[in-house]
Amino acid sequence: MKIFKSKAGQMRVIESILASFILVSAITFVSTFAVTPQSSTYEVGALEKLGHNALHGLDEEKLLSGFVYNQSEWSSNFTAALRISLPSDVYFDLRMSDLNGTLLNPNIPIRYGDPEVFNNSDSIASVTYCIAGYSRFDSTKGSEVKYEPRTLILLLVRE
């Protein structure tokens, strides 16, 4: 007898559950469009920033031109400097070319990480950085000034 009398209250409960269900559905639907820090869209942007900061930091420290215009530094100090400048879970592959687009380091990889990762990852970031030339004084060679632009393309992917 009492159960029949409370029918209206049960309806309110059902309405509340339905309302909650609609709300959760709406939030779930909208969140599929979200560009959150974890999403691949944001990841590429974050890697680009890391890559640019690494190259620009080396340039501001007056190290970059010394690495770029000295082939003996490519696989040793240049690679090491980039590994130090980037987080340990970020793999990189740096390609260097002249203004004609000729790749200058096809046989000397400036790389950290498995090359396969660059083929398989969905979130690969690419940073282009240009360096115009160099002027320096060396105690053995004296003054050297050279205008010879190089384009650096740094590919980055998270492990």
**Chain residues in the site for another protein (CB under 8 A):** 8, 11, 15, 19, 22-23, 26-27, 30-31, 33-37, 41-42, 45, 48-49, 52, 56, 59-60, 62, 65, 99, 127-137, 139, 143-147, 149, 151
Burial (Cβ within 10 Å: 0-12, 13-18, ≥19) of residue 69:
middle
User: Nearest approach, Cβ of 6 to another protein (angstroms)?
Assistant: 14
CB of 3 to another protein, least distance (A): 18
Compute the least distance from the CB of residue 116 to another protein, in Å. 27
* CA 93, 94, 100, 104 torsion-angle sign: negative
What order of strands is seen across the sheet that includes strand 142-158?
Answer: 110-112, 90-97, 142-158, 125-138
Q: Which CB, 39 or 72, lies closer to another protein?
A: 39
- Lookup: tokens for 98: 């002249």
